[in-house]
């Protein structure tokens, strides 16, 4: 029986019908990882023994008649999410040998659900980036063209799903880090509403926008995973107390009459030609499905990148301040009696200076600068005000429409090395995806076509906690199209 | 906008980052161009706002009792294994005072 490109829904049926075992499924992906990941470099760690052991346990649970959407389903995890007793590196030299003392809440939930952790995926160091080139260890390749980046920062997760190395992967999204790589790799990637998923055990970058979400082979699988990982957590007081909906209940309901906003200023000359025409086609699919297409405008969205690059560095410069090499992390050998390095600040500066990569340093310094005395009002306070305007703008639009459609990225995956020396250009990658992050809104990227042989995504944004609407629209779109069924030849 | 070498050194000192000369001149240019770009926010009109990005609708303070909670022994063990220098189960650091 072929397990190639199998979805969670399909695997579930095979497992429940006893046609395959979780161990067989797990071995299938472990084998693919061992064969293909030498070239693709999606994984930082692979846990062969514990994955096989977990699969055997899942098989016992299934044999005892237990039901569960993710029982026995193998997945990969972005290596910025803590796993007890296993390395969690954030793709940083600072945490190269760090062993997490506890599991993140999402990991606990997936473990209880019986999902099988196969390994942990590469990312831009501390999730700072849009290409995964900022990993301190190695560059992940885009499975569609290995001379190109997979996007980022969840590039290991998106490339692994595209290369069919797992059934699903988790990523984190602060300003586009799930959606942009999903677009570049031709997979489905969901950023849930801010507060929908607990971040306990996710290394904090920008605490006001960080969210954990799934990368999957289709929209239905994203709904299945979100249902398991969402919910309130006493260890994360920003997690929402709102009841988690059954996202699958109405997922196949027709979208006739649904009002979908199209942002006219996003469909401009700055889009790659193939992306532009592809997005217009996608809009027509929604029209054919009975949706009402409405032109809208988001004039403040153009400020989302500058706002993001004030708020994000500000928050992460504080969040990364704890990394000093004393309690854990990269540490120079020093003599505590005080011969080699006398001054404690000098120890911090050396540990941090030697182990943070260039982008982490840039962002820490940018944050330190914009928060410094004399600049705080001009930068941080202004950014917070504009952020509020961006939020209000979305809020007003959602009084008129149910959903908003945009391209995920202005173009397809770029070449490795093409823009590593231009941080500003890299920041502009997220021009369509950062606004929803700042406003705390849920948004998905799903495959919408190819431009010169490379996949690109369509973004659907909904009002806060309206994930069900996104799933419904996405599910209907994927019933009409088969972009999500295309896989790279590797 | 370009930052001076001294400004970069000052920021790096505040951020506890040791930088070499190559890094200092690189960050001078790169941070300068990012700050130039960020400057476009000056034109964004926010005069009608009376709150500053503080989402009071669904972000509110949730407090809990301030009490010590026993953490599992095995997790404490792993955490302490990460420490660079320790003595009697405690983290050992350089003299601060």
The distance from CA B37 to its chain's CA centroid, rounded to whole angstroms, is: 22
Alpha-carbon span B33 to A471, nearest angstrom: 40
A77 phi and psi angles, rounded to 5 deg: -130, 135
Q: Is residue B93 a part of any domain in this protein?
A: no
Q: Does residue B80 form part of some domain?
A: no
Every domain of chain A and the residues it spans: 1-490
B32 belongs to a structural domain = yes
Q: Is the pLDDT of residue A189 over 80?
A: yes
A322 at B interface, C-beta within 8 A: no
**Residue tagged active-site, from A22, A41, A45, A78:** A78
Nearest CA in chain A to B56: A388
Cβ–Cβ of A101/B79 closer than 8 Å? yes
Which residue of chain A comes nearest to B52, CA vs CA?
A: A385
Q: Cβ(A170)–Cβ(A190) under 8 Å?
A: no
Q: How far is the C-alpha of A217 from the C-alpha of A428, rounded, in Å?
A: 27
Closest by alpha carbon to A422, among A483, A474, A376, A359? A359
The CA distance from A247 to A251, in Å, is 7
Say yes or no for a CB contact (<8 Å) between B17 and A310: no
Q: Look up the ipTM and state it.
A: 0.93
pLDDT digits (tens, 9 = 90+) for A344-381: 888 899 999 999 999 999 999 999 999 998 888 889 99
The shortest CB-CB distance from B53 to any of A100, A345, A385 is to A385
Tell me: the pLDDT tens digits for A139-156?
999 999 999 999 999 999
Establish if A100 touches chain B: CB-CB under 8 angstroms.
yes
Q: What is the pLDDT of residue B43?
A: 94
At A422, phi and psi to the nearest 5? -125, 80
| Residue contact B34–A440, C-beta within 8 A | no
A335: CB partners within 8 A, 6+ apart: none
pLDDT-above-70 percentage for chain A: 98
Structural domains of chain B, count: 1
Go through chain A and tell me how many residues it has.
490
| A361 in reach of chain B (CB within 8 A) | yes
For residues A284-296, average pLDDT = 98
CATH of the domain at B24: 1.10.20
Answer yes or no: A78 catalytic: yes
Nearest-CA neighbor of A366 among A322, A412, A414, A318? A318
Instruction: Respond yes or no: is residue A177 known to be catalytic.
Output: yes
User: To the nearest whole angstrom, how far is the Cα of A12 from the nearest Cα of chain B?
Assistant: 34
Nearest CA-CA distance, residue B49 and chain A, Å:
7
Query: In chain B, what residues touch A366 (CB-CB under 8 Å)?
Result: 31, 34-35
pLDDT in tens, B45-76: 988 886 655 555 666 778 888 999 888 999 99
Q: Please compute, for residue B69, the number of CA atoms within 13 A of its CA located in the half-sphere on the CB side.
A: 6
Q: How many Cβ contacts (< 8 angstroms) between chains A and B?
A: 163
Note whether A371 contacts B: Cβ–Cβ < 8 A. no
| B67 domain residue, yes or no | no
Of the options 3.90.1300.10, 1.10.1270.20, 2.40.160.60, 3.40.50.1240, the CATH number for the domain spanning A1-490: 3.90.1300.10
- pLDDT tier, A300 (very low <50, low <70, confident <90, very high otherwise): very high
Is residue A172 flagged as an active site residue?
A: no
- Measured between CB atoms, which of A303, A334, A346 is closest to B41? A303
Retrieve residue A27's tokens: 């071995």
In a domain, B31, yes or no: yes
Report pLDDT for A270: 83
- Domain of residue B27 covers 5-43
User: What's the pTM value of the predicted model, to 2 decimals?
Assistant: 0.96
pLDDT of residue B59: 65
- What is the DSSP-derived secondary structure letter of residue A127? G
Name chain A contacts of B64, Cβ cutoff 8 Å: 234, 237
């Amino acid at each position: 029986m072929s397990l190639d490109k199998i979805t969670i829904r399909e695997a579930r049926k095979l497992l429940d019908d006893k046609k395959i075992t979780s161990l067989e499924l797990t071995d299938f992906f472990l084998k693919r990882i061992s064969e293909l990941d030498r070239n693709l470099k999606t994984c930082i760690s692979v846990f062969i023994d514990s994955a096989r052991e977990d699969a055997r346990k899942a098989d016992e649970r299934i044999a005892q008649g237990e039901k569960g959407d993710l029982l026995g389903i193998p997945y990969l995890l972005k290596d910025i999410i803590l796993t007890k007793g296993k390395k969690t590196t954030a793709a940083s030299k600072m945490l190269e040998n760090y062993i997490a003392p506890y599991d993140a809440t999402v990991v606990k939930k997936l473990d209880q659900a019986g999902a099988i952790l196969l390994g942990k995926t590469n990312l831009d160091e501390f999730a700072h980036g849009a290409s995964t080139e900022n990993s301190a260890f190695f560059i992940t390749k885009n499975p569609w063209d290995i001379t190109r980046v997979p996007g980022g920062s969840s590039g290991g997760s998106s490339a692994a799903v595209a290369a069919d190395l797992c059934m699903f992967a988790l990523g984190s999204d602060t300003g586009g880090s799930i959606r942009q790589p999903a677009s570049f790799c031709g997979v489905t990637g969901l950023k849930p509403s801010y507060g929908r998923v607990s971040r306990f055990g996710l290394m904090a970058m920008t605490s006001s926008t960080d969210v954990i979400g799934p990368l999957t082979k289709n929209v239905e699988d994203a709904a299945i995973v979100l249902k398991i990982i969402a919910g309130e957590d006493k260890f994360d007081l920003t997690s929402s107390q709102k009841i988690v909906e059954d996202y699958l209940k109405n997922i196949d309901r027709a979208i006739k009459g649904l009002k979908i906003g199209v942002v006219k200023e996003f469909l401009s000359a700055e889009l790659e030609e193939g992306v532009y025409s592809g997005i217009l086609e996608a809009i027509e699919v929604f029209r054919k499905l009975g949706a009402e297409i409405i032109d809208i405008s988001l004039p403040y969205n153009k400020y989302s990148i500058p706002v993001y690059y004030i708020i994000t560095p500000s928050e992460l410069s504080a969040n990364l301040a704890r990394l000093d090499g004393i309690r854990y992390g990269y540490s120079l050998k020093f003599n505590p009696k005080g011969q080699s390095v006398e001054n404690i600040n000098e120890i911090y500066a050396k540990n941090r200076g030697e182990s943070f990569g260039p982008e982490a340093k840039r962002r820490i310094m940018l944050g330190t600068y914009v928060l410094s005395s004399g600049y705080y009002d001009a930068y941080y306070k202004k950014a917070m005000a504009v952020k509020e305007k961006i939020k209000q703008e979305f809020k007003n639009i959602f009084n008129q429409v149910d959903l908003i459609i945009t391209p995920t990225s202005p173009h397809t995956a770029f070449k490795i090395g093409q823009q590593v020396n231009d941080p500003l250009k890299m920041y502009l990658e997220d021009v369509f995806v950062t606004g929803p992050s700042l406003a705390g809104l849920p948004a998905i990227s799903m495959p919408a076509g190819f431009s010169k042989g490379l996949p690109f995504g369509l973004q659907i944004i909904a009002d806060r906690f309206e994930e069900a609407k996104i799933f419904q629209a996405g599910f209907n779109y994927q019933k009409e199209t088969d972009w999500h069924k295309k896989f790279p030849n590797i | 906008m370009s930052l001076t070498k001294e400004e970069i050194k000052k920021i790096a000192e505040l951020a506890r980052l040791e930088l070499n000369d190559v890094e200092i001149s690189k960050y001078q240019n790169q941070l300068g161009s990012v700050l130039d770009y960020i400057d476009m926010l000056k034109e964004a009109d926010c005069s009608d706002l009376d709150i500053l990005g503080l989402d009071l609708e669904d972000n509110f303070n949730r407090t809990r009792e301030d009490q010590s909670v026993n953490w599992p022994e095995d997790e404490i063990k792993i955490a302490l294994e990460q420490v660079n220098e320790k003595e009697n189960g405690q983290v050992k650091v350089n003299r601060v005072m």
